[in-house]
Amino acid sequence: MSRLPTADIVIPVLNEAHVLRKSVETVMAFCQANLPYLWRVVIVDNGSTDGTQNVAKQLVAEYDDVQFIHLHQRGRGRALRHAWLQSKADVVCYTDVDLSTQLVHLRELLDSIVYGGYHVSTGSRLMRESRTRRSFKRELTSRVYNVLIKAVLFTKFSDAQCGFKAVSRKAIEEIVPQIEDQSWFFDTELLVLAEKQGYPIKDIPVEWIEDDDSRVKIMQTAWEDIKGILRLRRLLWSSRWSERRAQAPVADADRR
């Protein structure tokens, strides 16, 4: 009998004590009912100063399928990098703790990696089939940002910053160590480096509902993202990138 595939569902958190238990138990209930995988939920706290650690430790004590990682330094990218690189699962994904992306899409996200032949998949709020509820400001910012990425970096994926992504073990080992950003631009850098190294990216249209309690500072994040885009452009035009591509261990045709 073939073994079940394994999956780690990572939830990065920063001062989320008020929603952490509800979100984790919601994810667990969905996984138990819908995923034909051996799965676990991995909470990664990166620098919380509220009661997040206590809630996470309580969940670990109550549930065998919950793991907790505590990092002293902040940064969503740092949290994902740490959890993904130490994971031994066949496929690793993440979702934001507010569960803005509806969990009904989680199985498709994972299946595209395990059974669909992809190594990277991402939720998209910008496809025709997507359904979103968010403010005009956030909608406009998101669309402008993704147009900018396409114009500057010549990418094909539709939504760089949706907090709902899955990556294969192979892609983690090859791509994640190359990512420099430790914060919000981590997502974009992951997709750009994957695509430029021959990994087709599966865009999955999702239903996404804005969290009214979101603490993301749009303008500050946008400025950091622009700097990240320009850094990647310099990399892609450099001799260092040509050398990296020449040393890539797998031909593009073998990545699906």
- Determine the residue type at 127: M
User: What is the distance between the alpha carbons of residues 24 and 135, in angstroms, rounded to a whole number?
Assistant: 26
- For residue 74, give the amino acid letter: R
What tens digit of pLDDT does each residue of 107-127 get? 999 999 999 999 999 999 999
User: Does residue 245 carry a pLDDT above 80?
Assistant: no
Strands of the sheet with 164-168, listed across from one edge: 66-71, 38-46, 6-13, 91-95, 164-168, 120-124, 201-205
Closest among 190, 181, 194, 193 to 227, alpha carbons compared? 181
Q: Output the pLDDT for position 246.
A: 59
What's the mean per-residue pLDDT of the chain?
91
Tokens 């992306």: give the residue.
Answer: 101
Inter-residue contact 116 to 202 (CB < 8 Å): yes
pLDDT (0 to 100) of residue 137: 81
- Find all residues with CB under 8 Å of 161, minimum gap 6, and list them: 142, 145, 184, 187, 188, 225
* φ, ψ at 95 (rounded to 5°): -140, 145
Tokens 């249209």 found at: 205
pLDDT band at residue 210, thresholds of 50, 70 and 90?
A: confident
Q: Kindly tell me if the per-residue pLDDT of 20 is higher than 90.
A: yes
Choose the weakest-confidence range: 79-83, 124-128, 147-151, 241-245.
241-245
**Which residues participate in catalysis according to the annotation?**
187
- Tokens for 221, please give them: 């994040």
Q: Three-class SS of residue 44?
A: strand
Q: Is the dihedral of CA 14, 19, 22, 23 positive or negative?
A: negative
pLDDT of residue 156: 95
Going by pLDDT thresholds of 50, 70 and 90, the confidence category of residue 2 is low
Does the pLDDT value for residue 254 go beyond 70?
no
Mean local confidence (pLDDT), 42-66: 97
Span 184-193, pLDDT tens digits = 999 999 999 9
Location of structure tokens 């979702």: 95
158 pLDDT more than 80: yes
Q: Set out the domains of the chain in order of their start, with CATH numbers.
A: 6-247 (3.90.550.10)
